[in-house]
Structure formats: structure tokens, C-alpha cells
A and B are shown apart, each in its own frame.
Chain A
Amino acid sequence: MLLSSPADVAARLGATGYLSDDALATVTYLALRMQRPLLLEGEPGTGKTALAEAIAESLELPLVRLQCYEGIDATQALYDWDFPRQILHLRALEAAGGGQDGQGVEEAEKSLYDARFLLARPVLRALQESPAVLLVDEVDRADDEFEAFLLEVLSTYQVSIPELGTVRASTPPIVVLTSNRTRELHDALKRRCLYHWIDHPGLEREVEILRSRAPEVSETLRRQVVELVQLLRGRDDLQKPPGVAETLDWARALHHLGTADIDLATASVTLGALVKYREDADRVRHALDQVLRA
């Protein structure tokens, strides 16, 4: 994974179908070179998660994903013991007639906390499989305490399991954190990371993204879709302006219906792919009506 420059990163990401601008390519390059976690923030649907996938694919590394949610704790992020199997194992030992003398008991106990009964959760798995890409998705959904825990792992890249010992990554995994800014992350965590804000792409770049992600869609339809979406994003009365993911969905939906040229009828039946609020749908229908009629 010797990458020589931001342009090289951009080219590699491009080869997997992920188009990055120079700011994103540079910050990715820095994250790889400086071995620092990359913190991505931005509107939903601007390709934060997709970047981690693209990095993994372009460097041919396994991607380990940790989806955060409220109440997530170390047993879901790090490791857990497989209790049912441990008990089965114990029963099997008993049946085999073990555990008669003192030594046997000790051995039996030791064999219980064996690596094969360890359920490796994403963070531990990333450390074990490293070099790997660890995606910590929507870290803002987790609680404060979890952030502190994450900070510890990210600063040492090691995990200690009392019964087994310390697991250390031979090479630190490439870590990508994404956040939708539902709450402000701790400064300590932010300081560990390189920060990047992903914005909605411009017209040409979005057309290009569509070209690489949905090549089956015709060029004219592609351009029409992107122009309309960009127009909608410019309005400030939508509750949730469509992201790139929605653009892709909409283009594919129109393609599946065999649309060559968007008209109001097909547009309004496929709106569900583009906007997800009833109020928005009404406004968009109204806006499209004006545009398409013109």
C-alpha cells in the first residue's frame, strides 16, 4: 500500500468507482501516511461510508465495520465469550471423566478461556486481521463513554483481554470514523483524527459519479436527473435535501421504468426514491411541475 501522492490515492479510489476531489484525496493520503484515524462529517448520503469501502477495495484490505448505536458497549465492539459453547465444552469434559484431581480442574478452567471461545467483535477483529480498514460508522450515535473507550483503542491500537493477554495490531488498521453531527464529539477524539467535511458534489462531479456508479443509465437521463437534483438542493424549504445516494436511487428507478426523458408523470411516481417526507414530496412535485413544463 505504498501510495506516493494524493493524486495516486484519487486514481486508486477512482478505479473502484469512488470519485474524490483533491481535498478528500489529500486528507485520505495524509491519514494513510500519518497513520491517523480519519473523521468524516457531512450531510447524509454524501458518501462517507462509501469512502471507507473504496479505500478497502482499492488497497485490497478487508473492511471491518462497526455500526454504532445508543447503548453500544465494549462487549459489542471488542469481544465477548461464547457462554453456551463454554458450557457445552465443560459438559463434554465432564462426560470424558476429566476434572478428578486438582490439576484437571485447573486445566479445564484454562481450556474454557481459549481463543476458540472468544467472539471477536469488530474492533478486535480489525486488530487481528490488520492490515485492515476499520469503519466506525455513525460514531455520534454512541454514548460519551463509548467514545472514551474508542479513544483508548485508537491511541494504542491494542486491546487487553484479562484471560488471554494483549492483542496488538502488527500494523495499525486504517480507521475511518463517520458522524452525522447529531451531537458534538469530544475534542479529545477529534484531536486524534484528521477531519474532513464532505459536501454535496457539484453538477459535473455528480454526473461523473452517476456515470461510474450507475453506468446502465443513459447519458441524457443522467444529466437530466442531476440537474433536477441540484436544483432541488438549491431550494431551502426541503426538510431533507436529496443526497448522492438518493440521486443514484432515482436514476436507477427511472432507468428500470425505461424512461428516456423525464416527464412529470414518471417523476412523480418515482419521487419516493428521492425524497422521504410527505411535505417535501409535495414541494418537489410542485417544483418539478414548474421546471418540466417550462
Chain B
Amino acid sequence: MSERHADEILLAFARALRAAGVPVTHDRAQGFLAAAAVLGVGDQRATYLAGRATLCAGPDDLERYDQVFHAFFNARDGLPRSRPAHPAAPFAGLPLEETTGTGESQDEEVLRALASETEVLRQRDVASLSAAEKHRLAGMFATLRPRPPVRRTARHHAWRRGEVDASRTLRASLRRMGEPAEIAWRRRGVRPRRVVLLVDVSGSMSGYADALLRLAHRFTQVGRESGGVVETFTVGTRLTHLTRAMRVRDPERALVAAGETVPDWSGGTRLGETLRIFLDRWGQRGLARGAVVVVFSDGWERGDPTLLGEQMARLRRVAHRVVWVNPHRGKDGYEPVQQGVVAALPHCDDFVAGHSLATFAELAEVVSRA
């Protein structure tokens, strides 16, 4: 096998890996070639290890890498695909037609009607909206400005009063050739606190999934502007890390990216189980530590509610504040009687409604004050 020929095969493999959803960049591919050359091409195990070290960046990648490697070098069929053939994305059916509100209505009170309609739309349950109304509501999400909550940091800033800043005082006196100078003061700074959003995308929540992801997108974008970090996960039958998709600036493209990432739209709910995985793999290690964690779910739990209660208790011990958002909470005659909610409620700091834009704005307020 000539060197050149081998490189072509390796690059083709890198391309296949990229097609399977591992973010392989050009420089990573070059690193792969270099590593394979160091270990000597022709040895399959060595090539495998070279690729693992240079092309992967996390445990999720490793799993995909193994599959693609096996498929590419051993059997040339059944490459895993990054996107399931038809993701049942709940927002796929949005109409693209221009809906300025009243359509063909020739009423002269169009403008007034439009204004009040906006207000009505703010209060309406998002699950009950028609496609056209949803489309208009999507534009209104831009009015939400969820300010991130803040925490005190270990680092200090210069300030007029507070505690004595010894090193700055010394530095100032140094500038005066050692003459004692004015005393400098400092205080602790503030930084945005991390916000973690856990969005239930099971069947019973499917009417809200689109709106909740738009909300998560707003949280992420506004948070980024002020230097904060917002992490988004979907929970359902499995846990999916969605932060990367939510960081796409354009909301429509972000939602499409989310649709391609999440494999379990409108599936069942095993909230306790997925929450445990979240805490094991991410939360306890630090992602949820000191963070404001917001759980969006109706609490219809198919699994064991005691497990859910246990995991919520765990979550609360790790997080700074736990907020449970239930779309049914704001409706008339709602009683928190679902097993999941009953199990989780004692471990939540806040239990708020989340079914309309107005309630989302209230939620943003709750989070930023946390």
C-alpha cells in the first residue's frame, strides 16, 4: 500500500466519521494522518488508536467512532447515520406563509385588533395555538430577555470600600519609591450563575416542546451576551445534551439542529431514570453545582416515582436552586396529583406555571432572581 494511497483511505474514513456526526475538522484529520504515520500505517489496531486519540473529543464521540471504524474497515455496510431518517420534530409543520395577523380581514380596526391579539397571544396556552398563531408567537419570543442570575466570585475587584487590597496598596507605594500611599480597597465581584434547563420532550409534553426549546434558545442567547453559561438537556426516555444546538444564533436553525440531535421526541417519560443519568454523568461532577436548575415537565412519570423523588433530592443538594415548571400549573382546576409531581414537589424551591409567553416571562424573572 503506497503512502499516498493509505492517506486517501484514512481521509475517507475521517469523512465517514464526520458524516456520522463526529465533529472532525481539517486540522483534526491532519493530526490523525500524522499520528497514524508515527505508529505506522497498515496496522489496524494502531490506526484505530491513532484515530481515537486525534479525532474524538468526548465519550459520545468514542461510541460513534467505534461503530464507524468497525463498519469502515471491517464491513462496508450499515454506517450509522447522524440523523434518523425522519425525526418527528414537533415544529416541522410550521407554515412559511407570511402571517401578519389578520390576513384578508378588511376591518378598519385591524391595528387595534392586532395589538390586543398580541396581548391575547401572550396569555394563550401554546399547546392550543394554530400553526399560524404559533408562527407569530415564535417572533414574539425575541421580546423575552431572561437575565442570568448572579453569584459572588472568589476574585476581587477594586472598589471604594470593602476590605484592604494589600497587593494593590503595595504596588501603589512601590510607584512612589516605597512611600506609604493611599490604601486601596477591594470587594468580591459577581458573575453570572450557570443555568441548567432540563426539558421534558415526552409525548404528553409534545404540544409545548417547540415553545420550550424557543425559550431555552432565548435563555442561551441572552445568557451568552452577558457572559453566562446556559446548558440545555432534553429528558424523556433518554438524556440528550442540547447546548450546542441551542448556541446557534438563528432560532429556526437552532430548532432544526435540536430536532436532529434529539432521538426521542414524543416518546415515553422515564424522568427519574434520565435525571439519575444526568446527575451521574453531568450534574454531580459540577454542571449542576451551584447552578439554577429548571425542570420543564408535567410530571407524568411512567417509571418509579420514588426514584424520581430520590433523584430530585439529590439534585437539590447539588444545585443552588431547583425550579419546576409545569405547563398545567396555570390552568383552572389543576391539582398537583400526578405521581411524579407529588414525588418531586418537596424537593423544589419554586413550582411555577409555563404554558404561555406571559408565564415564560414570569419564569425568566424567577430564574434571574434566584
Contact = CB atoms under 8 A, between A and B. Distances in A.
Contact of B170 (A30, A84, A99): A84
Contact of B39 (A26, A41, A197): A26
A85 B266 CA distance: 67
A94 to B, nearest CB: 7
A130 B187 CA distance: 38
A200 interface: no
B286 A22 contact: no
A102 to B, nearest CB: 13
B27 interface: yes
> Interface residue tally of chain B, by bracket?
35 or more
A86 interface: yes
A84 B171 CA distance: 9
Contact of B286 (A71, A87, A141, A197): A141
B171 A34 contact: no
Interface stretch (A53-61, A177-185, A217-225): A177-185
A195 B174 contact: no
B318 to A, nearest CB: 10
Interface residues of A, number: 41
A27 B53 contact: yes
Interface in A163-205: 180-184, 187, 190-191, 194-197
Contacts of A149: none
Secondary structure type dominating chain B contacts: helix
B243 interface: yes
SS class, residues of chain A in contact with chain B: helix
Contact of B53 (A30, A69, A239): A30
Contact of B62 (A22, A71, A190, A197): A197
B38 A140 contact: no
Contacts, number: 102
A73 interface: yes
B286 A23 contact: no
Interface in B235-290: 243, 279-282, 284-287, 289
A99 B35 contact: no
Given A41-B58, A191-B25, 9 more contacts: A29-B38, A71-B155, A83-B170, A86-B174, A87-B178, A182-B286, A187-B23, A194-B54, A239-B314
Nearest to B57: A190
B89 interface: no
Given A71-B155, A180-B285, A91 B53 contact: no
Q: Which of B28, B35, B171, B287 has the most CB of A within 10 A?
A: B35
27 contacts: A26-B46, A27-B53, A30-B50, A30-B54, A33-B38, A34-B38, A41-B58, A41-B59, A70-B153, A71-B153, A71-B154, A83-B171, A87-B178, A91-B178, A180-B285, A181-B281, A182-B285, A182-B286, A182-B287, A183-B287, A187-B57, A190-B57, A191-B25, A194-B53, A195-B53, A196-B53, A240-B284
